[in-house]
Every structure is written in C-alpha cells, then in structure tokens.
Amino acid sequence: MRLTVSRAVPSQKVLIRRRRRQWSDALTIFLFLLPSLVLFVLFVLVPVVQAAHYSLYKWSGLGPLDDYIGFKNYQTLFNQPIFLKALENNLLIAGLSLVFQLPAAIVLALLVNRKMPGRSFFRLVFFLPYVLSEVVTGLIWSFIYNPLYGLIAGVMRQFDPHATPPAFLADPKTVLYAIFIAMCWKYFGFHLILYLAGLQNIPAELVEAARVDGASSWQAIRYVTLPLLGSTIRLSAFLSILGSLQYFDLIWVMSGGGPPGTNASETMATYQLHYGLNEFKLGYGSAVGVVMFGICLIFALFYQRVIMRQDLQGSSAL
C-alpha cells in the first residue's frame, strides 16, 4: 500500500529535479539547434523561396522589385531555343555519364577489388583527380586541347609536322564531348569509390560458393556480384544524373558555355548566370533556377519512389 502511494505521488524532490531536467533539456534543444537552423534557413531555404518570388518579376537585380509580370518569364524560357539547348545539353551529359562513366567505374572497381600488386596505388591514383579543384582540372584540360601548345596537338605534330590540330573547344560540334571527357577524368574516381564500398559489403563466401558450384568468374560477377551491387549502382546513377542536371564548373572554366558566339556547351546553370548576372535579368535568371530545381525535385522524388524504393526501406531519408 505504501509502495503504490509512493509510486503514484513522487516526492517533491524528484518532481523538482525532473522538471528542472525537462527545462534544461528544452533549453539545450533550443540553443543547440538555433545556430545551424538560422544559417540553414537564411542561406539555403530562403534563397530557394526567394527564387520563386523573383521569378514572377521583371527585375534587373537593382532598384525596387515592382514590375510584376506573372508567369511571363517561364513562358519566355520555354520558347527560348538557347534554354532548350541548355536543357538538352544537361540531359546529354547525364546520358553519356550513364553509358560510359558508370560502367567504366564498375569495371575498374571489380578489378581493383581483387588481390593484385599495386592495388592501393591504383586506388590512390584513380581517386586523385576528384580532390583537384574544377578550375585546376579545367585549365589542365584546356591545355591538353589547345590547338597550338596543347598535348594532343603536340602528339599530332610528332607524326606529321604540317598537321593542323583541331581546336576541340572552339568547335561547336566537339566542345561538349571534349568537356565530357574531362568530366569523366575528374569524377569516375568518385563512383569507383562508391562501388568499392558496395563491393566490401558483399560477403566473399557468396562468390566463392558460386565458383565452387562451377560458375565461371564472369558468371559469378554477372549473377552474384552485380545483382548484390544493385543498390550502389542505383545510388551512383542517381547522384550522377542529379549532378549532370546542375552542372556548372568545368563548363564555365573551359568554354563559358560557348565557343563565343554560339551556345554549344551551355547548361542550365551557365545559362542562368549569363542572363541573371551578366545581363542583369535577375527575375528571368531566377526562373531558370526554379525550373532547374523543379526538374531535379521531380526527378529525385520519382527516382526515390520508383527505382530506389527497396533500397530506402528502413532509412529515414525523405
């Protein structure tokens, strides 16, 4: 009897301590979350909302925001051949990455994953370009492609002193592919690292069991390793497509969206900057940003709901 009473009514002391703990917890939660939330809201969320707001105005970025034009910026945008070309280029980069970059990364990951001499050296080298800055990468590859002083030009003149080496970055037909090769050089190591991490999660016994049962090493890869690597492949494709849709840096450094006078290598991101800042059409540039965001969001939701559904079960992501 006494026991139940003491359980039902905690002593005054315990109550005070518990309440104090609750208060101090609330204070901790508030003070610990405040700085990061302020930064995140101010510099990440607010600009996204502002982009939607600005995109409804004709605005140079200076002076008052008062020339409301509704959805006219979006109308112009989708009737603008250069923007459509930029969107097409983004999709082309994404497609090329899926067809060339990711399979190459998978093959190399399978090779580096075996026991062989120099294995950690290869891994170190393959991943090295990823840590270099985009500017450094862009300048190195601009040098390689340079028709006078460049590496490719040098090789060509070695065979034929009178050769006129092509200017890959100045030709609208080749510029995007030339930049894509530089992108592969820089980013394949990142995907390789993802695949290596994925391969490490596959128990070696499974592959060994298949080999014991008479599977060739190709069959073991095709029917055991690759299916088990599925979630990593889907993730790497997701990151690659999302990155391609927003791509900016190497293009800006190597061609500026040109060659000059054309928009042969324009992407949505370079287009946005050309019009938003260089030409003082901030409302219009913001509309480009909103469309880019919309495309990425729709893609991400679709991909996560449909293609990565089984991978995300039990995780808290979105």
Partner 1 sequence: MRVSLRRQWVSLPAFAICAVVATIVLIPLIATVIGGLRSTGELLTSPFSIPKTLHWENFGRILAADSPFWTEIYNSLLIVLGTVGLLLVTACPAAFVLARISFPGREFVFNLFLFGLLFPLTVAVLPLYITIRELGLLDTLWGVILPQVAFALPMTILILRNFFRAVPIELEDAATIDGASRLTFFLRVLLPLSRPAIAVVSMLATVSSWNNFLLPLLILNQPSEYTLPIGATQFAGQYSTDWASVLAFVTLAMIPAILIYLLAERQIVAGLTAGAVKG
* 11 is a contact residue toward partner 1 (CB under 8 A): no
3-state secondary structure of 149: coil
Q: Is 90 in the site for partner 1 (CB under 8 A)?
A: no
One residue of 33, 99, 209, 226 binding partner 1 per CB under 8 A? 33
Using CA atoms, how far apart are residues 187 and 314, in angstroms rounded to an integer?
Answer: 30
Q: Which of 101, 269, 271, 274 binds partner 1 (CB under 8 A)?
A: 269
Contact region with partner 1 (CB under 8 A), list: 2-10, 166-174, 192-200, 221-229: 192-200
Q: Measured between alpha carbons, how far is 230 from 201 in angstroms, rounded to an integer?
A: 12
Q: Which of 114, 160, 204, 218 binds partner 1 (CB under 8 A)?
A: 114
Binding span for partner 1 by CB under 8 A among 76-84, 88-96, 116-124, 257-265:
116-124
Sequence-separated (6 or more) residues with CB below 8 Å from residue 51: 286, 289, 290, 293
Contact flag: residue 310 with partner 1 (CB under 8 A): no
Does residue 276 belong to the site contacting partner 1 (CB under 8 A)?
yes
* Helix, coil or strand: residue 68: strand
Nearest Cα to 268, choosing from 89, 46, 62?
89
Does residue 218 belong to the site contacting partner 1 (CB under 8 A)? no
Footprint (CB under 8 A) of partner 1, residues 137-156 = 139-144, 146, 148-149, 151, 154
318 contacts partner 1 (rule: CB under 8 A): yes
Q: What is the DSSP letter of 272?
A: H
Within residues 47-76, the interface with partner 1 by CB under 8 A covers 47-48, 50-51, 54, 61
Q: Contact with partner 1 (CB under 8 A): which of 15, 99, 132, 307?
A: 132
Please pick, from the candidates 102, 129, 169, 257, the single residue that binds partner 1 as defined by CB under 8 A. Answer: 129
CB of 94 to partner 1, least distance (A): 15
204 lies in the binding site for partner 1 (CB under 8 A): no
β-strand partners of 68: 57
- Cα separation, 181 vs 189, whole angstroms: 13
Q: Which two structure tokens, joined as six digits, stand for 26? A: 């609330």
Among positions 74, 100, 122, 303, the unique one binding partner 1 when judged by CB under 8 A: 122
Residue 133: CB minimum distance to partner 1, A:
4
- Taking each helix axis as running N to C, give the angle between helix 119-131 and helix 175-200, from 0 to 180 degrees, rounded to the nearest 10: 130
Q: Quick one: 74 or 248, whose CB is closer to partner 1?
A: 248
Query: How many helices (H) and strands (E) in the chain?
Result: 18, 0
**How many angstroms from the chain centroid is the CA of residue 253?**
18
- Judge contact between 146 and 257, C-beta under 8 A: no
Question: Is 298 one of the binding residues for partner 1 (CB under 8 A)?
Answer: no
Q: The tokens of 125 are what?
A: 């080298």
Q: By the 8 A CB rule, do 168 and 258 touch?
A: no
Q: Which one among 56, 86, 87, 108 touches partner 1, defined by CB under 8 A? A: 108
If one asks whether residue 28 binds partner 1 (CB under 8 A), the answer comes out as yes
